[in-house]
Amino acid sequence: MDCRADGRTADKLRPFILDRDVPGAAPGRVLVRAGNTTILCTASIDEEVPPWLAGKGKGWITAEYNMMPGSTAPRKRRDRGVKLDGRTSEIQRLIGRSLRAGVDLSAIGERTITVDCDVMLADGGTRTASITGGFVALVEALRTLEDFAGKPLPLVDTVAAVSVGIVDGKALLDLDYREDVRADVDMNVVMTGQGKFIEVQGSGEEATFDQEQLFALIALAKQGIAELTQKQRETIGLSGLKLR
Amino acid sequence: MDCRADGRTADKLRPFILDRDVPGAAPGRVLVRAGNTTILCTASIDEEVPPWLAGKGKGWITAEYNMMPGSTAPRKRRDRGVKLDGRTSEIQRLIGRSLRAGVDLSAIGERTITVDCDVMLADGGTRTASITGGFVALVEALRTLEDFAGKPLPLVDTVAAVSVGIVDGKALLDLDYREDVRADVDMNVVMTGQGKFIEVQGSGEEATFDQEQLFALIALAKQGIAELTQKQRETIGLSGLKLR
Amino acid sequence: MDCRADGRTADKLRPFILDRDVPGAAPGRVLVRAGNTTILCTASIDEEVPPWLAGKGKGWITAEYNMMPGSTAPRKRRDRGVKLDGRTSEIQRLIGRSLRAGVDLSAIGERTITVDCDVMLADGGTRTASITGGFVALVEALRTLEDFAGKPLPLVDTVAAVSVGIVDGKALLDLDYREDVRADVDMNVVMTGQGKFIEVQGSGEEATFDQEQLFALIALAKQGIAELTQKQRETIGLSGLKLR
Amino acid sequence: MDCRADGRTADKLRPFILDRDVPGAAPGRVLVRAGNTTILCTASIDEEVPPWLAGKGKGWITAEYNMMPGSTAPRKRRDRGVKLDGRTSEIQRLIGRSLRAGVDLSAIGERTITVDCDVMLADGGTRTASITGGFVALVEALRTLEDFAGKPLPLVDTVAAVSVGIVDGKALLDLDYREDVRADVDMNVVMTGQGKFIEVQGSGEEATFDQEQLFALIALAKQGIAELTQKQRETIGLSGLKLR
Amino acid sequence: MDCRADGRTADKLRPFILDRDVPGAAPGRVLVRAGNTTILCTASIDEEVPPWLAGKGKGWITAEYNMMPGSTAPRKRRDRGVKLDGRTSEIQRLIGRSLRAGVDLSAIGERTITVDCDVMLADGGTRTASITGGFVALVEALRTLEDFAGKPLPLVDTVAAVSVGIVDGKALLDLDYREDVRADVDMNVVMTGQGKFIEVQGSGEEATFDQEQLFALIALAKQGIAELTQKQRETIGLSGLKLR
Amino acid sequence: MDCRADGRTADKLRPFILDRDVPGAAPGRVLVRAGNTTILCTASIDEEVPPWLAGKGKGWITAEYNMMPGSTAPRKRRDRGVKLDGRTSEIQRLIGRSLRAGVDLSAIGERTITVDCDVMLADGGTRTASITGGFVALVEALRTLEDFAGKPLPLVDTVAAVSVGIVDGKALLDLDYREDVRADVDMNVVMTGQGKFIEVQGSGEEATFDQEQLFALIALAKQGIAELTQKQRETIGLSGLKLR
């Protein structure tokens, strides 16, 4: 198998780091790095749920995604005062939906946990790294709640994500920015630690793909997510946690 | 195979109608109906491209999606003066991307074709019906251009879409609203007339799905799209057109 | 009397159609056509009144007016996220005020009825056709309320409207777009079925008019509205209704 | 004829003052008072026209209307950052249209004159007083232009306006706020100094009016405007100006 | 000491006038003039406090600052529908903070007093004149409250402000616009009648200043404010009031 | 001298760190920490100036300040789509003005350098730490420009800032959040490395201060800034740079 610009084989992840030693006031904080891509994930807890969920004894998890001004050169403009662009809105809906699939919302009380994903350096795969890192920040935040002191956390399973794509006709795992730009097909896959799918989003921009390619991409993603799950478990020590 | 609330079998589409006899000033106009779901699709041509595409000799296709106030009861508020909500933005990005995959943008000149999908009655599957109907409006609009008088239209292939989902553990084709609300997994699939994938978006809201289910949904979608493609061809008479 | 571009005499309405067979979820739905001008009018009922009217035992009727993107060529931009332009706001205030004059608001309960007028094809006279058609949609919506089952509807009178204007020194009834553009004086008149005025709005843009012209325009409008009232009565069968 | 709360007969204007001694930087400045109603009108000149008028050798006149926070008790909120409400937008469109009818736009060069009407004290009739006072500010501003030094100003005629209405079945001239609130029919009339109509806007809110009432209101307005025209001529000394 | 463009010595205020005879509906109204600079200050009373202060038995004072369209030539655009610019926001926060320092908020009841400062003619020093004039309007408004009939007003002290600056290396009092533009250092000082500081804001735009200059500016401001305090006391007759 | 909650004497800075090893794409990047307060400062270069400065051969420096969502508990809401609040706008204007005073704008070419200050953890003094850290990021960015390779940077002087305040009648240096909340007087001072003032902003919220206190605060700030300047010089190695 030929190697890529950075020497990786087609089925190899970029170096992946989850760093929990980050300054901040939010109860959950993780700096996630996938190659150059660097994202600050913080999870904050609000003792209220959105109005439409009030009084149902259930909690809520939501996410916000943001490219910091220094995350790209030239500088990324802030989205202050302008309407949220479609891409950002789509990404943060995906992150929120994915994280909710990993938590037993009926067991966290009438609270909202907001996971903020602020991209410090963007080099491809920011939405999937946000999910993988955001899940760890979310677990950290849950750990600060007295309700769960000495008890298993209300987790269904771990949640991790990776991007795959077809570049020059070849299926690649974990695309960096240069590969992403050249990809004919781009797919994001979100899975649980036990290998169930949460989300599959494959899309050909001015291109199409056949069923064989679709299945090859899915296989590649499964393998990558298995590795990321392992990193998550090491970081948050879930081995000792009973998943619900 | 048991039948559904409306008596359909799991693999059966709702009655599907493409009506080209619609008042309006836009060059392409189609009323699409899938069961109760009714959408007015119009395609307008602007002799300009967005700034970032100017001077490249290439055209652009974009879409706008809107729920009309009378499309739901209680009434759907207009999104005037408020920021576009995430769902709407995500849907119209999907429609635009899907339609672009069916047209040879380098062959339509420096024009923008905007496909507007205004939902008159919402009963599930509005985004996929918008794609299937919007493609027909787009073709109608292309036909009004003198550039293609007596020549084949600059089409790569036809484009159609359908929703599939898992309800009560069973894979169903073309969900109506009541089914959609109860679905554990919801998937939208966009394909060309020749059976290539343009977009696959499967998502479990507070649920997961395994690989077997994923593949079953894809098979069901392929079959439904083949039928819709047939309807499109009858409506727009593409049999006589040479696809590029 | 010389005839106009479309062969009409000065005092002749365009062909006028009220079509109640329209898909949608709102309880009142009418497609109104005056010549080419085509407008979808829907009336929705909300079991609440605006805050300033709460607790007074009285209902409210309001209207929204919108040009659909395909109603003009070139395409009409949506007013999403931008402030409502003055013309639109003025038109929907006029429609709401006019419709309220035809209904006994103290007899409809603490409800808000919103009449939405979405222009599908614009060829002059959209605001007056919105009033004439919107009144029919409003009546349809009132009919769905159980309060009035087997009782007369809480109507004061029917409400209809027409435009008149002075083109090349001559007073004309029911201007189409080309005539409207050339008009020195433009007047919209709203009246009840029994011949009372609700609204008279005459305006010379960079032009003036004398009293004789004013009175001629009013006479022409009265005659046109009498015909439109007849069409409304045929459509909604008000002959059997006791007006309050 | 019985008198009103303030002792006026039905056909009597409130005390009307045009004061040109007002601090400000705009070339045209007038404080207009109609009874208690007090409005600061300023006219500013910009050496540019709106884009759609550029290059046609013609000028433009536009107006902005604003209620100052201290003009009412309780305080009127500023419309900063919120969308312009329908009433304000409607009023300033009326003022602009009315003023344009008095000036030969093709003779003022490619300039925009903006007439700002800031209400300092609101007691009914603010829109008509804005027109009558705004016309004087406009003339003052035109006088500062060197183009017209020693020449007649490019005026078609003077422009003035007044409100009339039906209160307790009686037609009244120049309503104050308490009368306006009780009026069944409210009409604003704009005329030239030579007795031509520019605008007639009569409206019954939850009420109707017959033709006799309509004609009585128009007669009353004509008489009031003749008096206001006289005041304008005294203030701006148009007697020596040749109207075009 | 050399004199300035308008003949003043460096330590001389511009002619300063406080005029209480101003039309309006707000209970406190003052027209303040400092040289050409002219500002309409009105103070309105609302029988409510902001949500965050509710139930604490304390009142609130806030300010809004606005340049009227005719206050500059070319015309100043209104800030309707656009976000409040930084300068305006900064100024009105300064005015509010300054006025609050002069009033015993715990003695005015749960009321909000809004002081509106609308600049009619801008010639430098508008923010400081707004404070000096706004304080007088505020006192007028307090006087209309029955709570204080026959009792001392709940004032801590009078509040006045002035600008100072360094122009061509020289410290000047009360800069007009031409001086302000040329100033290397610009300082606004707010003080009480008894000589305490409320606010000191000195700033060098692309310039710096040393401690000696800083102290000279402060001395100049103290002297100017003493004179303005005297004018305020004459206008509002505080000599007979017991300050708390 | 008694010590404070954290054991510091009144004239002692919190531990101050400037860390240049930060991921990101912007050419200048510094993490600044003053006690717990932590701010990511990045400086980006755009090869354009704002329109009003174009063609003058001069550059521009501007700043944006933002509290990240995880910087406070409870979570700080993002200011997306809402108008920028007054405090934020005031802070970023102060930062921009301060940084400009340290650079020879006429020597950096027609470029805009934007310094972004994103607060990761807020514990008082964020605006002054943003200035001190932002200046270092700015210098780093200037160093990446080829124009200055092997030449002195176009600096006038270093720029640093600190807060001082009066708490319980005592003047304190470098207030943390708990002290800031209790302060009667709050002052921010910005100075150059050579001891000149750039900005002095002292303010008593519902309190006043006398001249003696003012001078004591200034003395304290001078001393603190001298220490911060020393830290800056160590970090950016300005000892070898010739200041202009």
Is E242 among the domain residues? no
Cα Rg for chain C, rounded, in angstroms?
A: 18
Average pLDDT for residues B6-31, to the nearest whole number? 97
pLDDT greater than 50 at residue B1: no
Cis-peptide, bond into residue C74, ω within 30° of zero: yes
Question: E159: nearest CA in chain F?
Answer: F208
Enclosing domain of residue C110: 16-236
Over the stretch C178-205, which tens digit does the pLDDT of each residue have?
999 999 999 999 999 999 999 999 998 7
Q: Which residues contact D92 (CB under 8 A, 6 or more apart)?
A: C86, D63, D64, D65, D117
Which among A111, A116, A147, A96 has a CA at the least distance from the CA of A29?
A116
Question: Under an 8 A CB cutoff, do E71 and D118 touch?
Answer: no
Q: Strands of D14-155 (E only): list them.
A: 16-19, 28-34, 37-46, 60-67, 112-121
A155: confidence class by pLDDT, cuts 50, 70, 90: very high
Q: Does B92 touch chain A (CB under 8 A)?
A: yes
Whole-number percent of chain B with pLDDT over 90: 87
Over the stretch D43-58, which tens digit does the pLDDT of each residue have?
999 999 999 999 999 9
Pull the structure tokens for residue D133. 């006072």
Q: Does C86 touch chain B (CB under 8 A)?
A: no
Is E210 among the domain residues? yes
Q: Does E2 touch chain F (CB under 8 A)?
A: no
Q: CA D33 to CA D131: how far, in whole Å?
A: 12
Give the per-residue pLDDT at E1.
47
Helix or strand run (H / E) with residue F40: strand F37-46
Over the stretch A33-47, which tens digit does the pLDDT of each residue have?
999 999 999 999 999
Give C43 to chain B, closest Cα distance, Å: 7
Q: Which residues contact F106 (CB under 8 A, 6 or more apart)?
A: F57, F58, F59
Preferred mutation among C45, C78, C82 to probe B, highest tally of B CBs within 10 A: C78
F86: confidence class by pLDDT, cuts 50, 70, 90: confident
pLDDT greater than 50 at residue C173: yes
List the 13-32 stretch of F: residues with Cβ below 8 A of A: 22-27, 29
Is B52 among the domain residues? yes
Over the stretch C127-145, which tens digit does the pLDDT of each residue have?
999 999 999 999 999 999 9
The total of other beta-carbon atoms located within 10 Å of residue D149's CB is 8
pLDDT greater than 70 at residue D243: no
Question: B69: nearest CA in chain C?
Answer: C116
Question: Under an 8 A CB cutoff, do C70 and B120 touch?
Answer: no
The total of other beta-carbon atoms located within 10 Å of residue E54's CB is 11
Over the stretch A192-237, which tens digit does the pLDDT of each residue have?
999 999 999 999 877 899 999 999 999 999 999 999 999 999 999 8
Q: Does D77 touch chain E (CB under 8 A)?
A: no
Q: CA E152 to CA E154: how far, in whole Å?
A: 6
Q: CA F23 to CA A17: how far, in whole Å?
A: 13
Q: CA D43 to CA D111: how far, in whole Å?
A: 12
Give the per-residue pLDDT at A207.
87
Is C174 among the domain residues? yes
Q: Does B77 touch chain C (CB under 8 A)?
A: no
Over the stretch B56-97, which tens digit does the pLDDT of each residue have?
999 999 999 999 999 999 999 998 766 678 899 999 999 999
Q: CA D25 to CA E73: how far, in whole Å?
A: 6
Pull the structure tokens for residue C42. 């829907």
Q: CA F3 to CA D67: how far, in whole Å?
A: 56
Half-sphere exposure of A162 (CA within 13 A, CB side): 29
pLDDT greater than 70 at residue A241: no
Q: Which residues contact C6 (CB under 8 A, 6 or more apart)?
A: C14, C35, C176
Is E51 among the domain residues? yes
Give the per-residue pLDDT at D93.
94
Give the per-residue pLDDT at E238.
64
**DSSP secondary structure letter of residue A150:** T
The backbone region for C170, taken as left when phi is positive above 0, alpha when psi lies in -120 to 50, beta otherwise, is: beta
Q: Does C40 touch chain B (CB under 8 A)?
A: yes
A114 interaction partners in chain F (CB closer than 8 Å): 69, 75
pLDDT greater than 70 at residue A238: no
pLDDT greater than 90 at residue F36: yes
Average pLDDT for residues B141-159, to the nearest whole number? 93
* Burial status of residue B240 (CB atoms within 10 A of its CB: 0-12, 13-18, 19 or more): exposed
List the 117-176 stretch of B: residues with Cβ below 8 A of A: 157
In the β-sheet with C60-67, what is the strand arrangement from edge to edge?
A: C16-19, C28-34, C37-46, C112-121, C60-67
- Which of B27, B38, B83 shows the shortest C-beta gap to C81? B83
Question: Under an 8 A CB cutoff, do B206 and A92 touch?
Answer: no
- The mean predicted confidence, pLDDT, of chain D is 93
- The mean predicted confidence, pLDDT, of chain A is 93
Give the per-residue pLDDT at D153.
93
Q: CA C92 to CA C134: how far, in whole Å?
A: 11
List the 98-117 stretch of D: residues with Cβ below 8 A of E: 114, 116
Over the stretch C11-52, which tens digit does the pLDDT of each residue have?
999 999 999 999 999 999 999 999 999 999 999 999 999 999
Distance (Å) of CA E124 to CA E4, E186, F224: 15, 11, 35
A79: confidence class by pLDDT, cuts 50, 70, 90: confident
Is D244 among the domain residues? no
Is D7 among the domain residues? no
Cα Rg for chain A, rounded, in angstroms?
A: 18
Phi, psi of F151 (to 5 degrees): -125, 160
What is the CATH number for F81?
3.30.230.70
Q: CA D44 to CA D29: how far, in whole Å?
A: 9
Which among F61, F146, F155 has a CA at the least distance from the CA of F111?
F61
Question: Under an 8 A CB cutoff, do F209 and E201 touch?
Answer: no
Over the stretch C44-103, which tens digit does the pLDDT of each residue have?
999 999 999 999 999 999 999 999 999 999 999 998 766 678 899 999 999 999 999 999
Over the stretch D134-179, which tens digit does the pLDDT of each residue have?
999 999 999 999 999 889 999 999 999 999 999 999 999 999 999 9
Is A132 among the domain residues? yes
Measure CA of the first residue to CA of the last residue in chain D; give whole Å. 40
F3: confidence class by pLDDT, cuts 50, 70, 90: low
Preferred mutation among D197, D215, D229 to probe C, highest tally of C CBs within 10 A: D197
A120: confidence class by pLDDT, cuts 50, 70, 90: very high
Instruction: For F81-92, give the DSSP string.
Output: TSPPPHHHHHHH
List the 196-235 stretch of F: residues with Cβ below 8 A of A: none
Alpha carbon dihedral A62, A65, A66, A72, in 10-degree steps, equals 170
Q: CA A28 to CA B84: how far, in whole Å?
A: 30
Give D135 to chain C, closest Cα distance, Å: 15
Low-confidence ranges of chain E (pLDDT < 50): 1, 240, 244
Question: Under an 8 A CB cutoff, do D207 and C101 touch?
Answer: yes
Over the stretch B175-213, which tens digit does the pLDDT of each residue have?
999 999 999 999 999 999 999 999 999 998 778 999 999
Q: CA D174 to CA D221: how far, in whole Å?
A: 8
Question: What's the total number of domains in chain F?
Answer: 1
Whether A29 and A114 have beta carbons less than 8 Å apart is answered as no
- Which of C24, C71, C84 shows the shortest C-beta gap to B80? C84
More confident residue, B156 or D240: B156
In the β-sheet with C197-204, what is the strand arrangement from edge to edge?
A: C170-173, C159-167, C185-192, C197-204, D197-204, D185-192, D159-167, D170-173
